[in-house]
Amino acid sequence: MANIKEEKLRKLKKSYIGGSFAGFIIIGTIVFCLFASLFAVFGLYIMDTKLRDEYARVSKTAEVYSILKDAGNDGISRILENRDNVYLITDADMNVIETHGKNTCDLSKGGKIDILEFTDDVAVPADEEGIHGHIGSMVEKARDNAITVYPDTEVAIITPSGRGRVMIDFVKLRSIISGADYGSDALSLQQAYFVKLPFWIDIPVDANHHMICKAYFNIYFRELAILSFLAVMVVILTFVTLIFVLAYIIKTVRNRKRMNEIFFMDETTGQHNWLWFITNAERELKKKHNADKKYAVLDVVFVNYRNFCVCHSVEEGDKMLCRINDRIQGFLGKHELTAHHSASHFAVLLEYRDRDELEDRIRKMIDDLEHINDEHKFYYWIGVDRIPESRDEKGRVVRRDNIDVEKEFNNAGAARATLTVEDSAIAFFDEKMVEEQRWIDLINENQMRALASEEFVVFYQPKYDPRTRELKGAEALIRWMSPEHGMISPGRFIPIFEKNGFITKIDHYMLAHVARDQRRWLDAGYDCVPVSVNVSRAHFIESDLAEQIKGIVDDAGTPHDLIEIELTESAFFDDKNALISTIKKLREYGFAVSMDDFGSGYSSLNSLKEMPLDVLKLDAEFFRNDDGDGRGQIVVSEAIRLAQNLKMRTVAEGVEEKNQVDFLAEQGCDMIQGFYFAKPMPKDEYEERMNNKTA
């Protein structure tokens, strides 16, 4: 269960951080790409516009050259010189055959580029209207055909990129702006321009000639300002957007941290709760560098908590729990943990070297906790489950991948539950407790099957008159004949049945079997004597218990005077009125009722006064460990006399020696049950005893 919770918490944390970080990256990328795209589109638009204008200008020069050349005009150079043109004339193999102006064209690095969105409304001087139509057709043609450009050898800033665009070398451009000298002939700075960047455009004149004209990429102040403004806006908007997103992520992470604090906070102490403990304890134990260390999980119980709350208040009790939590916290090292588990329980994770060092440390903690309040003496029960270093079959240190802190704490709690002393104490969980728990689980798993298959067997222990040695009665005792485990004594399963409630079914089972045995023996001609059957105190919450007993016995057809109902002395401390009512009904139905184990606890004479009993059974402890001063005999003698005066028969159980028999006979005890006369025996042996009648 702890691993499932830890995995869910890990996924929750990952979704918070991972989702927020992914959102930050995605939003930042989208915003940057959006603004960068706008910047790039605007820049491309400016570049295409300038290239288009320059292409239109040099196309006019090429058209003029073509027209004048076709007309046989010898004044071509003079006419073109007046237009301040620099150009080359090449043949079809790109060999220069004519130069006008300084040739700085790098013919070895030409490339094709595309000119976008040309129209035929190119602005031309008024005196060239005749040429306008032809130029327009050339420009229109450029829409579908790429043109060739060449870089300038002196200022190689604009070059074809090889992807249908031109590329600007911004490193060189920055050098120009910062004042680098590229030669006055190669670069001109004018007031109208920020800078003029030269490149060359190839214009086919005819099938055998090309005119390669020098063109300029003019960067104006206003264009630079606009581009700079756009660049700054891209950066600012991207930065602002990311700041907002980052602020949101930080807020989200802080909220998650606050949620974790609330989620892992104990309402009583305001500190860590149980879920925090198992999550962090398992994380600590699973670390590889902790695999060779020994740890202990503690279940610390403030035993006086409920009484303290009764005497003071729940609020004061909770304040005391807070102080205890703080004191425990003060005993812990850097990587040791504690948390309030529930009610007055605290969970603690300690690191230790050996058991003696661990126990000494726990006792020091107890000593400090006992004196947390000067006006009260508090005591604590602490269960401890030790977690050794983690090693594989070859003795190598390995990680504790399968550690379950909830299981370890439950083991510590099982050890703590064995403590019953009225003082502070420590109990260590060990393999014996594991075996005991496995045995309890085994009993719980098999009890119904055993009942259905009648693995429970009735044994009978005879009761004899100490004076005549005559059989006067018997007690029905249960044994479990298990196919897997052989005969199991009652002490190994009856306490478990009493805790899990199965004892009520066993009572009915025993009563039914004894009633059937008595009926069979009567039918076989045996001289039957009353047999006592134990009925658990758990039954007495049932208002119709007497009716249930009567119904079971009547189903077997057994006379009621042959069945005696035994109640343990502890039953007389439950609901007295209900018990008296049931006893009266049983006696009205003809059943004898006895008090078993009288004297085993703190017997109440009021019980004898108020309960209409028929038989008083003296506990076996009366006849053991007699110190020889006669006090035990005095008590037994007076108990027998008291029972006689109350018109009750007496049975002494656990009698094993002849002198005890003689003493009880002398005192007038009615029956003796014990090993001196007979041990519990199967019913076939008991049948022989009924035949013999005397011991």
Average pLDDT over residues 97-113: 86
Residue 127 has pLDDT above 60, yes or no: no
Task: Pull the structure tokens for residue 568.
Answer: 């343990």
What confidence tier does 191 reach under pLDDT thresholds 50, 70, 90?
A: very low
Q: Answer for the pair 652, 618: CB distance below 8 angstroms, yes or no.
A: yes
Rounded Cα–Cα distance for residues 610 and 251 (Å):
74
- Specify the range with the lowest mean pLDDT, choosing from 131-135, 250-254, 674-678: 131-135
Average pLDDT over residues 233-245: 78
What is the overall mean pLDDT for the chain? Answer: 82
Rounded Cα–Cα distance for residues 667 and 638 (Å):
9
Residues 274-429: name the CATH superfamily.
Answer: Reverse transcriptase/Diguanylate cyclase domain (3.30.70.270)
Q: Answer for the pair 582, 545: CB distance below 8 angstroms, yes or no.
A: yes
Task: Pull the structure tokens for residue 155.
Answer: 């200022």
Q: Answer for the pair 149, 115: CB distance below 8 angstroms, yes or no.
A: no
Bridge partners (DSSP) of residue 100 are 87
What confidence tier does 560 reach under pLDDT thresholds 50, 70, 90?
A: very high
The kind and range of the H/E element at 228 are helix 221-263
Residue 498 has pLDDT above 60, yes or no: yes
Residues 6 or more apart in contact with residue 606 via CB below 8 angstroms:
none
Rounded Cα–Cα distance for residues 453 and 484 (Å):
13
Q: What is the CA radius of gyration of the chain?
A: 54
Nearest to 414 by CA among 388, 440, 390: 440
Please give the distance of CA 63 from its chain centroid, rounded to a whole number. Answer: 83
Domain 454-692 belongs in CATH node 3.20.20.450: yes
Nearest to 89 by CA among 99, 77, 81: 99
Q: Answer for the pair 651, 632: CB distance below 8 angstroms, yes or no.
A: no
Residue 516 has pLDDT above 90, yes or no: yes
Rounded Cα–Cα distance for residues 323 and 227 (Å):
68
Please give the distance of CA 651 from its chain centroid, rounded to a whole number. Answer: 60
Nearest to 479 by CA among 498, 449, 504, 457: 457
CB atoms within 10 A of CB 667: 18
Residue located via tokens 């047999």: 531
Give the domain ranges of the chain: 53-223, 274-429, 454-692
- Specify the range with the lowest mean pLDDT, choosing from 5-14, 79-88, 425-434: 5-14
What confidence tier does 136 reach under pLDDT thresholds 50, 70, 90?
A: very low
pTM for this predicted structure: 0.58
Residue 160 phi, psi (nearest 5): -70, 140
Rounded Cα–Cα distance for residues 130 and 61 (Å):
14
Buried b (16+ CB within 10 A) or exposed e, 537-548: bbbbeeeebbeb
Q: Answer for the pair 191, 175: CB distance below 8 angstroms, yes or no.
A: no
Domain 274-429 and domain 454-692 have a common topology: no
Rounded Cα–Cα distance for residues 293 and 153 (Å):
75
**147: three-class secondary structure by DSSP:** strand
pLDDT digits (tens, 9 = 90+) for 441-470: 999 999 999 999 999 999 999 999 999 999
Q: Identify the pLDDT of residue 173.
A: 67
Burial group, residue 58, by CB count within 10 angstroms (0-12, 13-18, 19+): buried
pLDDT digits (tens, 9 = 90+) for 386-418: 998 888 877 788 888 888 899 999 999 989 988
Average pLDDT over residues 415-431: 89
Q: Identify the pLDDT of residue 679.
A: 94
CB atoms within 10 A of CB 660: 23
- Specify the range with the lowest mean pLDDT, choosing from 111-120, 245-254, 323-332, 534-543: 111-120
Q: Identify the pLDDT of residue 143.
A: 45
Residue 513 has, within 13 A of its CA and on its CB side, a CA count of 23
Compare 652 and 16 and report the one with higher pLDDT. Answer: 652
The kind and range of the H/E element at 279 are helix 274-286
DSSP letters spanning 370-400: HTS-TT----EEEEEEEE---B-TTS-B---
Rounded Cα–Cα distance for residues 534 and 476 (Å):
8
Rounded Cα–Cα distance for residues 239 and 228 (Å):
16
Task: Pull the structure tokens for residue 589.
Answer: 């139905």
Q: What percent of the chain stands above pLDDT 90?
A: 37
Residue 590 has pLDDT above 90, yes or no: yes
* 3-class SS string, 309-338: HHHCCHHHHHHHHHHHHHHHHHCCCCCCEE
